Structure 1
Amino acid sequence: MADLTITAANVVPGAGSVIEAGTAGETLAAGKAVYKAAATRKWMLADSNSATAEARRATGIALNGAALNQPVSVLKGGDITIGATLTAGTDYYLSDTPGGICPRADVGSGEYVCLLGLAKTTAVLTVDIQFPNVAL
């Protein structure tokens, strides 16, 4: 398998999801895994094999596209229609492609494990981010 192919226009938060508004620190697309940079307080693409420790820990999923310094909404927990086809019951992780989301089988050696959530259905991901700070 590979990273999810996400249709940005189909990314929709579920009722009761935890959402935070902020500012993009780079160009972001809806459905990409992101983290908030401590120095700038801006949202950036997360990456499981980044040389920067902070970038290896996703803290949300972008709900809209945004260019540098534009507003962005980020889902931090709860259900999200991710705009891709999921396998119900499968766990999904941050990938080694900046912002990418992949199934567990695609997390490779040297990558840091960052669980993003579990597929509730073939369209809905229940986001509950867990980061043990452990590399495979």
Structure 2
Amino acid sequence: MTDLAITAANVVQGSNAKLETGLAGETITAGQWVYQDPTTRKLLKADSDSATASVRKPRGLALNGASLNQPLVIQKKGQVTIGGTLTAGLAYYLSKTASGMCPVADIAAGGYATTLGIAISTTVFDINIEESGVAV
């Protein structure tokens, strides 16, 4: 599986970004996909092949880095300069690598298909998270 290589320093929210702030439950880097733990309400790295359903449900993309219990801003919807090289027009999915994203061709068996959004250029990604609830 080939995940998109993201440069954290280049992740920038777009003008139509829908944001949310929470607390990090572990060390998070800008450009990582996170979910919200239902018990602690903290943000942790999402993972498409976790045995725990809540871990497979990304809440958004981290826009900044944070350590345990530090504030973390996430983008839930809208355009973002992703900090990596995308293929325009291609859908990207939550990867089996914790907090990663991959193109549809690289979805691996055993993971759950969750669309993160569509690349609208080689640098701009339009976040629109849709969970299928279906394992591939």
Same fold (TM over 0.5): yes
CA RMSD of superposed structures (Å): 0.8
Identical columns (%): 53
Q: How does 1:47-86 map to 2 (within 5 A)?
A: 47-86=47-86
**For 1:127, what is the secondary structure of its paired residue?**
strand
**For 2:44, what is the secondary structure of its paired residue?**
strand
Shift in Å, 1:132: 1.6
Code of the residue aligned with 1:130 in structure 2: it is E
**For 2:9, what is the secondary structure of its paired residue?**
helix
Q: How does 1:1-136 map to 2 (within 5 A)?
A: 2-136=2-136
Deviations 1:37-92 (CA, angstroms, capped at 9, x unpaired) = 11011111000001111101111000001111011000000001000000000000
Q: Give 5+ residue unaligned stretches, structure 1.
A: none
TM-score normalised by the chain length of structure 2: 0.98
Greater strand proportion: 2
Q: 2: distance between equivalents of 1:38 and 1:72?
A: 17
TM-score normalised by the chain length of structure 1: 0.98
**For 2:34, what is the secondary structure of its paired residue?**
strand
Q: 2: distance between equivalents of 1:16 and 1:80?
A: 9
